Structure 1
Amino acid sequence: MRTLLVGGTYLARDLGEELSMRGWQITSIVDADLSPRLYPLATEVLPGGLGGPAELVAWARDHGVELIVDASHPFEEDLSVDAAEVALSTGVPLFMLSPASFQTPATVLPTLHAAAAEAARKYHHVLVDVGPKVGEFAADEHNMYVFRLVEGLEFEGVLPPRHQVMREKIHNIAGDYLHQTTELKRSRESEKQLIRDYQIDGIVLREDGSPDGAITLAAAEELRIPVILVARPKRRWLTSVARHHASSVEEALGQIYRWSSQQ
C-alpha cells in the first residue's frame, strides 16, 4: 500500500521499517534541515515536503497515495499542516502517531519564552535540550547555559554570553544512508555524570515524550534537579482531521492493519 509518512522521529523510523518489511511502499517527508543520517527507513524521502501543501497534494494524487501517517515531532507543525491539507484535499485517511507525555514530576510552561524566563530567575547552571531554536535564552547575561544539540543540526538564534555547546553524536546501528537505523548513546548514569560535571541546578526540556528525554528526566529526579518542560503546541485542528491516534508504534500498526484489512 502506498503510504505517505511524515517522519523525522524515532517513531517514524520504526513504523516505516515495520511497514516496509511487509511490502508497503513508504515515502517519507522530513524537515529540509534534517541531516540525511536522521532520515527514517523509507523507499523515498522528500526533504521539506516538496515546498508546500499544494505541491504535496499534487504529488500524492499523481502517486496514488492511499494512507497518510503523521509521526512527526510533537513540536514540528509545518509538515503536519501539509499532511492534513493533503488528507482534506484528497480524502486519503490520516493517522497520527505521537509519543505519550512524560509522567515524571516537572514544571510545565506553555512556551519556550516562559521557560527561558523561569530558568533565568531560578537557576545558575542550566542544561537546555530543546532543539535548535534557543534564541529565547540570549538575553540572560548572568547565568551559565549548557546547550545540547544532535550533530548535523545548527542552532537558530543568538546564544547567551555565558554558554557551552554539547554535540550529541548519532551512532549507526545497521545499514547505510537512507536504509539505516540510528540511536543516541544516552543512559541514566551518563546523564547523572553530565549533571555533576557541569554543576547543573536546573534543566529545560521539551515535553516531547522521547526516550532520551525520559532518561534525562529520570537522572534529574534521582539527583533532585528541578526540570522545566515546554508544553507541546496545541494542534486541535490537526488532530481533528486524523481518523486514529496512537502513542506507540505497536498501537499504530494495529490500527493501520485493521483499517487496511477492511479496504
Structure 2
Amino acid sequence: MHVLILGGTTEGRRLAELLEDAPGLRVTSSLAGRVAGPRLPVGEVRVGGFGGVSGLAEWLRTHHVDVLIDATHPFAEKISFHAAEAAAGAHVPLLALRRPGWVPGAGDNWHLADSLPEAARLLPRLGRRIFLTTGRLGLAAFAGPASAGLWFLSRSVDPPEPGTPVPARMELLLSRGPFALDDERELLRSHRIEVLVTKDSGGAATAPKLAAAREAGLPVVVVRRPPVPPGVREVTSPEEAAEALRGR
C-alpha cells in the first residue's frame, strides 16, 4: 500500500516514523518547500508543489497512491481543500491529521478573531507593543491603517519575501520552536510586550508563550483555525492515524 503524507509538521514527521518499518507499506512524505532548511521526515521525501488540484490528482494516480493523509499545518487551508478535491477526483481515501487546538484556562485573557485582518483591528484597544507570532506570510494584515502607531516584534522561521508589506514599526526575530517557558517570559519582559497575537495552531512546541502571557496578565488575540473540508475524516494524533491505516 502506498501512502502519501502531506507533511511539514511535527505530526507528519512522527507519522512517517511510526510507519517506517510497517510491512507491505510504502510511505512518501511531501513538503511544500516554503521553509528554508526544513526538518525532513524519515523515508522517501518529495519537496515542492503539485500544480494545483489537477496536478495532485494526477500524482496520486500516476504513483498509485492508496491513501492520502493531510498532515499539513492547521492553517494550511488552501492545500487542505486542494487535497480533498484531488482525492475525490482520483478516488483515493483521505484522512486529515490535525493536532487539537488550544483551550483557554483560568487566568487567560483571550480575544478571538476569525482572520488576521480582524485580529489587527482588535489591537489598538488592547495595547501598543505587540508580539506577533502568526508567521511571515500574514504580515501584510498588520501593515494597514489599523496598526498605525503600534510596534511589533514579529517571530518567524524565515524572513518575509522582499516586497511583502510589513508593519511600519517592526523588529524581526528569526527563530524556530520549540520554545521554553523561561525564554518566553524573558522575551515578553525585555521587549515590554503588551499584547500577544497567535494562531490557534495547537501543540506543545509553541504553547509556552500562552503560559508566559497568562502569568504576565497580558491579553492574547487568538485567530481561530479554519475547518477541515466537509466529509473528510479527522484524527488528532499520529498514533490514531497509524491505527486507521492498520485497519485498512
In structure 2, how many angstroms separate the alpha carbons of the residues matched to 1:120 and 1:129?
17
Q: Counterparts of 2:40 and 2:140 in 1: how far apart (Å)?
A: 26
Greater displacement, 114-123 / 155-164: 155-164
**Is the strand fraction higher in 1 or 2?**
1
- Hey, what does 2:8 align to over in structure 1? 8
Tell me if 1:145 matches 2:139. no
**In structure 2, distance between residues paired with 1:246 and 1:154:** 32
1:26-72: per-residue Cα shift (whole Å, max 9, x none)? 22233242334234334021411x21221221221121101111111
Judge which range, 117-126 or 78-87, deviates more: 78-87
Q: TM-score, normalised by structure 1?
A: 0.84
Residue 92 of structure 1 deviates from its aligned partner by: 1.5
Q: Residues 125 and 27 from structure 1, CA distance in 2 versus in 1: closer, same or farther, beyond 3 angstroms?
A: same
How high is the sequence identity, in percent, across the aligned residues? 28
Instruction: Show structure 1 runs of 4+ deviating over 3 A.
Output: 38-42
* Counterpart residue number, 1:33: 34
DSSP 3-state at the match of 2:19 = helix
Is the CA contact 2:31–2:45 (under 8 Å) kept in the aligned structure 1?
no
| 2:222 equivalent to 1:233 | no
Is 1:200 the counterpart of 2:165? The answer is no
Q: 1:125 to 1:110 in 2, by over 3 A?
A: same
Contact residue 8 and residue 34 of structure 1 kept, 8 A: no
- Listed as ranges, the gaps of 5+ residues in structure 1 are 170-183
Task: For 2:119, give the aligned amino acid.
Answer: A
1:143 positional shift: 1.6
Output the CA distance in 2 between the equivalents of 1:114 and 1:212. 25
- Match for residue 206 of structure 2 among 213, 218, 225: 213
Question: Are 2:94 and 1:88 aligned?
Answer: no
Distance 1:30 1:120, change over 3 A: farther
**Alignment of 1:118 onto 2:122:** yes
Distance 1:42 1:72 in 2: 17
Give the corresponding residue for 2:102.
102
Q: Where does the alignment leave 5 or more consecutive residues of structure 2 unmatched? A: none
Q: Distance in 1 between matches of 2:187 and 2:246?
A: 42
Q: Which amino acid aligns with 2:67?
A: L
CA distance in 2, matches of 1:99, 1:209: 6
Q: Which residue of 2 aligns with 1:161?
A: 168
Other structure's SS at 1:44 match? strand
* 1:179-231 per-position Cα deviation (integer Å, ceiling 9, x unaligned): xxxxx241111101100010111100001113233211111112211101011
CA RMSD of aligned residues (A): 1.8
